[in-house]
Structure 1
């Protein structure tokens, strides 16, 4: 079997990370594993396994025939069977299929705003799905949406999985006191709810002034970013909250922290929580998306309601005070993730699906 992953960029995001994870994992399981990036390279470039065949298209426009034929040549020369397109890269996949009919397309849906999927409409995606042989959804809500909206009936739910990656040479020494650090890994977007996190940090600062917050993620330099940094100044949190931006690999900073949080307003099945658990960190996260499929009980994490400052502050206070509870909770979460969200189990199911389904089944217009 010969499979190529495709993604629009290698910025440090969930969909981008999963494209790299699949490409890397498949090198151990199939004859050929490739990765194509259409528009922009980024920090995840350094995480691509040396056995992955890599191509950057440098696509300039939505319809870029030079990029399409460059992709066609790569697929044809490497005798690729399946083009696995992540998120918005599906459009490029469909364009190349029009020139290379034998290619089978899998579309991988990583959509992260799940409050009301009934409002999610895209005629381009809908009619492009006529060319899909299969659809992967990262949570059950997206699967239900795909079944009801798309014109491909071969829809499968596969949760995200984590790849244990420690090869980065990037080393960051965190500010704050050792043994008293709280980490949040989330790009600076409104749905990640950093402003709420700052309110909590302000309350924790008064109770536990020696504890600090360490935030990692891409800064888009927009109005939300400006509001975030202004609020840090207004609340006088400059010695409590530290924002580092986006980094190649969070493993080395996770090992320096003691509690992990994710205060999102919306999620799918977030890789950040899986990464937290991989490093045996106790987690506090909001009750959104499919986080409850990871944090299944009070023994392996804390679930709070979004925007509930009292719950969040109380949960953090409990973990700050009770070190034994932190350690046990992190250990339990690690064991659960290793059992249910490992690369080995999900890749096995992925390949079984491809081999058994023959990618048949399509709705009629």
Structure 2
């Protein structure tokens, strides 16, 4: 029997609207749900950002401008918003779980769920858990972005009502195509990844050094937030040290991802740790041939040699060899792109994920 979703009223909570994976998914869920349920809202607690332009007009939006962990003005603004809009479920993304917990204390009847986007899922043994053990008993469910996080929630946190839901891509809205990539058309390799240590741009630079010798016309294009920290400084220093200024280009945060991918020939991820990266879904959405590392939930999407190449993390030589195979085989690039697109549509489309999500919610709160 088909579930009746018409009376569900859900808000997404996220700390900011900067261009990160959790932030994109909060917006994607809010937009997608606006077409399927009675009320879909998006609440941003601390900081607005570039993703504000991606919010659908059918989504109710609230910015709390929360100044501190215990900002009671922001908390009661949220409580009033939830009451006014008769919200039935609060879907808290990433670190916004604490705000959802505080809301539960002042409005005990609300149902709250946590969407765990933890990026270092390869290193869960190092994850702080003290606060979570206190807070999670107040939650009604947990969504995990990969199977490792689901198992961690069940076993380490002893939380039973968990579900793994893959991320899903969405079409860009209200984006001006302004980014012009450097390099030669047809010979560009793109990496969509914020400059964070788990993304391992050092591996990318090692591969770039090799490719500069064997295929000097091919260039790397790094798109993602630059936090201006020590990691970022090291990357820039290595580019200069190894004379890669004409081979590796940094663009920072950009919104016109479709435009960037259309200018690119190969797409890569060099991560040491991942959930299911939205960048990889976007690569598939736009039919790019990919080389990625064997981390997180990537193997649920990429079948090595069939719709992309997967190599172990930090394996410089294998990563280089995989890129060279794609550089030297136009037909293989096309076949990989088409095959990955089909995989994303079949398994990670908005329709497929939302069906599982809404069924899980309905079954959780009967």
TM-score interval w.r.t. the shorter chain?
A: over 0.9
Which TM-score applies when normalising by structure 1?
A: 0.96
Q: 1:2-24 CA distances to partner (integer Å, 9 max, x unpaired)? A: 00000011111111111011000
CA distance in 2 between counterparts of 1:94 and 1:314 reads: 48
Tell me the residue number matched to 1:340. Answer: 347
1:43 to 25, 44, 50: 50
Report the Cα offset of residue 264 of structure 1. Answer: 0.5
Report the Cα offset of residue 170 of structure 1. Answer: 4.0
Q: Is the 8 A contact 1:132 1:152 kept in 2?
A: no
**Aligned with 1:98: secondary structure?**
helix
Matches within 5 A, 1:110-125: 110-125=117-132
Which TM-score applies when normalising by structure 2?
A: 0.96
- Residue 57 in structure 1 maps to residue 64 in structure 2: yes
Q: Is the 8 A contact 2:271 2:295 kept in 1?
A: yes
Unpaired segments of 5 or more residues in structure 1? 360-365
- Residue 106 in structure 1 maps to residue 113 in structure 2: yes
Tell me the residue number matched to 2:245. Answer: 238
Q: Is the 8 A contact 2:191 2:269 kept in 1?
A: yes
Matches within 5 A, 1:54-93: 54-93=61-100
**Aligned with 1:160: secondary structure?**
coil
Matches within 5 A, 1:161-310: 161-310=168-317
Deviating beyond 6 angstroms after TM superposition, the runs of 4 or more aligned structure 1 residues are: none
Tell me the residue number matched to 1:362. Answer: none
Please report the RMSD computed on the Cα atoms of aligned residues, expressed in angstroms.
1.1
Report the Cα offset of residue 164 of structure 1. Answer: 2.1
CA distance in 2 between counterparts of 1:268 and 1:225 reads: 22
1:158 to 159, 165, 176: 165
Unpaired segments of 5 or more residues in structure 2? 1-7
CA distance in 1 between counterparts of 2:157 and 2:53 reads: 35
Tell me the residue number matched to 2:4. Answer: none
**Aligned with 1:204: secondary structure?**
helix
CA distance in 2 between counterparts of 1:116 and 1:227 reads: 23
CA distance in 2 between counterparts of 1:205 and 1:118 reads: 38
